[in-house]
Amino acid sequence: MKQFLPILVLVCLAWPQAEGQPRTAAAQSSAQATPQAVNSAPAIPADQENARKAKAAVDQAIQALGGQAYLTVRDREQQGRGYSFHHGRESGGGAIFWSFAEFPDKERVEITKERDIAELYVGNKGYEITYKGAHPIEQKDLDGYLRRRRFSLDAVLRTWVNDPGVVLLFEGPAIAAQHPAVQVTLINAQDESVTLYFDTETHLPVKKSFSWRDPVDKQKNLEEEVYENYRAVSGIMAPYNVTRYFNGDMASQRFLNSVTINQGLDQSMFDPNSGYNPNKPPGKQNGKR
């Protein structure tokens, strides 16, 4: 079951005055009479200008993703096939999966054709559910999932960018996943950072990276995600192909067949003890009508 954990990734001003506008005679006279007044206008500090450019790039990305429709997504269902890798080599065949997420902190992932094995995350708790019932996920695996959720693209664009303690840095042009891109780094009050790369033409996110230090061996690890094959779904743009890398090696790939937004999810699916059966229609779980 652990081999499917990497699949669960799931899972953001001063504007110059417009040029070309005609001046009034009084304005022309004033400008000619006091030329030093123009030269004495304070310049925007470099750090503020950099932050403005970073915020503008992030705002463009949010708009490209769907703007307010993206920011207010309540729930999302994804169905597709996932592959896991070990040191860059595929380990085992691909597995079909169904992922159900309710923002900000609920996710259920079902695998196998029968959908009889699931992993459930609610708040800061995680469970593996089989025919034997639910039992807690190992702490190391839970820590990895919670870390990926904290640094997820949705969390960064919905939560980080609105935190006044987060610093935004515009780092200029870059090449990311073979796309010309602009690079923006966000640093929070805990000195954690995440770097986003936005396509220069579409403004959509094409890559995300963050690093963390292993509490046991103290080594620094780099995690990256690449987003491809965007499609419009209910007013937002969703990447149908997502590839995750760990320290430069491919760790997992996810290819989606379908995405559904804001359908309203059965809350019993997020209760580890509800006996939720994905093969029963909503409203008829455990005989309920």
- Label each residue of 200-238 as H, E or C: CCCCCEEEEEEEEECCCCCCEEEEEEEEEEEEEECCEEE
* 158: enclosing H helix or E strand: helix 153-158
Sign of CA dihedral 178, 219, 122, 286: positive
> pLDDT tens-digit profile of 14-69?
223 333 333 333 334 444 444 444 444 566 778 899 999 999 999 999 999 999 99
Sign of CA dihedral 145, 147, 150, 153: negative
Per the prediction, the chain carries an average pLDDT of: 86
Under the banding of pLDDT at 50, 70 and 90, the label for residue 94 is confident
Cis-peptide into 104, omega within 30 deg:
yes
| pTM for this predicted structure | 0.81
pLDDT at 35: 42
Bridge partners (DSSP) of residue 220 are 213
Q: Which residue has the higher pLDDT, 12 or 28?
A: 28
Give the separation between CA 172 and CA 110, rounded to whole angstroms.
40
CA dihedral of residues 263, 267, 273, 277 (deg, nearest 10): -30
Give the separation between CA 274 and CA 98, rounded to whole angstroms.
18
pLDDT at 45: 78
251 Cα distance to chain centroid: 17
The answer to whether 106 and 118 have CB atoms below 8 angstroms apart is no
pLDDT at 257 over 70: yes
Under the banding of pLDDT at 50, 70 and 90, the label for residue 280 is confident
CB atoms within 10 A of CB 200: 14
Bridge partners (DSSP) of residue 232 are 237
The answer to whether 222 and 247 have CB atoms below 8 angstroms apart is yes
CB atoms within 10 A of CB 115: 14
The answer to whether 157 and 65 have CB atoms below 8 angstroms apart is yes
Give Cβ neighbours of residue 52 (< 8 Å, ≥ 6 apart): 13, 14, 44
pLDDT at 129 over 60: yes
Bridge partners (DSSP) of residue 8 are none
pLDDT at 143 over 90: yes
Longest dimension (CA), the chain: 86
The answer to whether 243 and 233 have CB atoms below 8 angstroms apart is no
pLDDT at 95 over 70: yes
Q: Which residue has the higher pLDDT, 5 or 248?
A: 248
The answer to whether 177 and 170 have CB atoms below 8 angstroms apart is no
Q: Is 9 helix (H, G, I), strand (E, B) or coil?
A: coil
Domains with residue ranges and CATH for the chain: 44-278 (2.50.20.10)
Query: Which residue reads 């986003």 in tokens?
Result: 196
The answer to whether 5 and 82 have CB atoms below 8 angstroms apart is no
pLDDT at 47: 87
